[in-house]
Structures are given as C-alpha cells and as structure tokens.
Amino acid sequence: MTEYPEIAKRFARETAGHQMTVKHEDGLYRHLRFGRPEHGSFGVYELITWPYNLVVKAGWTFHFDIDATPDMFDLFRNTAFSGEINPSYWQEKVRAGRDEIEGFDENLFEQRVKQHVVEAIRNGRAPRGIGAEVTRDIFEWGDISHEAGARAELDAFSYQGWTFGETWEWNFCDYTPGFLWCCHAIRHGIDLYDAARKTAEVAA
C-alpha cells in the first residue's frame, strides 16, 4: 500500500478511464500518451523512452536514467508492485527535475513542532500554557507557508524563557505532490501498456 494515500486517490480520480495512445513505438523507442479525449488536457501525461532513459511529462517533467537497464520499463516493473510506487528508490534515478522532487511540507513542519512541544511537556521542561502559545504564535499568526518563514518563526519564538533551541537540523521536506503523481503515472502507464500488449498477443 502506498505511503501517500492522498496522492494515490487523487491520481486515481484524475486518471479514471484513461486510454493509451501509441504515438511512436520502435523497440525501446516509445512515445505513449495517456488521457481521455473528452477531458481535454486534464490528467493527461506522456511516457517517452529510449535505451537507458525514461521521461514522464505531465504538469511536471522528470527524466530518469540508469546505465544498467536498457528498457526503463523493466526498472519500474521490477521495483514496485502494480498500482504501487517506490519514490525513495526512483528519485535516485532522476537526472533532470531533481529540484522538483522534494519541497517544504507544512504538515510535516506542524507535526515535528508539536512532537517537540509534547516531549518538552512530558519531560517537565516546558512552562505551563506552552501548547496554546505555540498554536497561536506559530500556527495561527506565523508565516509558515514556506520554509524560510517557518524556520524564522521557530527561531523567534520565546515563552517564559523557553525556546526551541537549535532546530537547523530539523527536516521539513517531503516528496512533492508533483513527483509522487508522476511516479504513479509511470507505474500506471506501464500497467496499461503491458495490458494492451497482452491483449494484442492473445488476439494474434
């Protein structure tokens, strides 16, 4: 089961009923388009392959390559079950689009901050009322829509002498929705391709 169920549900909803169009196929040289004509460009994506390379184009573009795998479809087939993705491994193979793989996650930031506050309360190191103060100053009044603002709020926070201390090592980044969506697009596109090829073989 995917670790990012919200993205999996979104992808399934946006690509329901997708059909594959083969724009070009010559061995490992493929150009496949997936979409529904009646939906226009909504949810449309393309997979383009050549030896040792795969490009997925949606609202985002990622170029994967690995010298050991001539057919990149094999890489994605062999490293995730049908309907599932393996972003932690696949991101290592991204040549272009690396700056779009991860980004600041406001939910992860909130989770990490609240966890730290709870631990401080349990250890008796935090003053009474710290939870409400953090909620008001950081989550309600603070500018935490981006990483720089979120870190600035942490650095500036002080309540009855209590501060968050050194937080520069805290990681608030996670895979972007765009990268996860494209991972699903690759795995789903390969499944549709394999199904179509199997149907053609049976018909022959």
Q: What is the pLDDT of residues 49-84, one digit of tens each?
A: 999 999 999 989 999 999 999 999 999 999 998 889
Handedness of CA 116, 106, 180, 5 (dihedral sign): positive
What's the whole-number mean pLDDT along residues 139-155?
94
State the residue for tokens 């184009």. Answer: 57
Cα–Cα distance for residue pair 91/149, rounded to 1 Å: 27
pLDDT band per the 50, 70, 90 thresholds, residue 1: very low
Using a pLDDT cut of 90, give the percent of the chain over it: 83
Q: Can you tell me whether residue 49 is helix, strand or coil?
A: strand
Element (H, E) at 6: helix 5-14
Instruction: Specify the pLDDT at position 86.
Output: 96
Number of residues written out for the chain: 204
Q: What is the pLDDT of residue 2?
A: 52
Range 108-117 contact pairs with CB under 8 angstroms and sequence separation of 24 or more: 108/172, 108/173, 108/174, 109/144, 109/147, 109/150, 109/172, 110/139, 110/144, 112/170, 112/172, 113/138, 113/154, 113/164, 116/164
Q: Do 35 and 18 touch, CB atoms closer than 8 A? A: yes
